Amino acid sequence: MNRCTVCNSELDDRKKNCSRCHATLGYILFKGVVIGKSVLIILELILPAFFFLYGLAAQNTLGVWVCYLMLLIGLLGVGQLIMGPKWHKPD
């Protein structure tokens, strides 16, 4: 059994939503929407990888800055995946 970290109620291991406080298990809370693993991978790993390769191909100062920025975003995404999902209570 899992416990909701918001209200401390017991939950079934398969549940992603708390029936008591309506908290949701996910990776990021963005404008009241909890983002899951697949969207996180697309937004913080695949898209930055594409722009990182674009920055490498540009071979100019802007391309280097794009590479640095995309590398930072990718590292943040990997860190969030390693830390795992958290309980978020939408407003």
pLDDT over threshold 90, residue 9? no
Residues in CB range of 47: below 8 A, 6 or more apart: none
Handedness of CA 24, 29, 30, 35 (dihedral sign): negative
Residue-wise pLDDT tens digits, 20-62: 888 888 888 888 888 889 999 999 999 999 999 999 999 899 9
Instruction: Determine the Cα–Cα distance for residues 37 and 59; give it in Å rounded to an integer.
Output: 33
Nearest 10 degrees: CA dihedral of 6, 87, 3, 22? 70
**In the chain, what are the domain boundaries?**
1-35, 36-85
Mean pLDDT for all residues in the chain: 88
pLDDT value of residue 60: 92
Closest CA to 9 of 84, 90, 89, 91: 89
Average pLDDT over residues 59-74: 93
pLDDT value of residue 88: 84
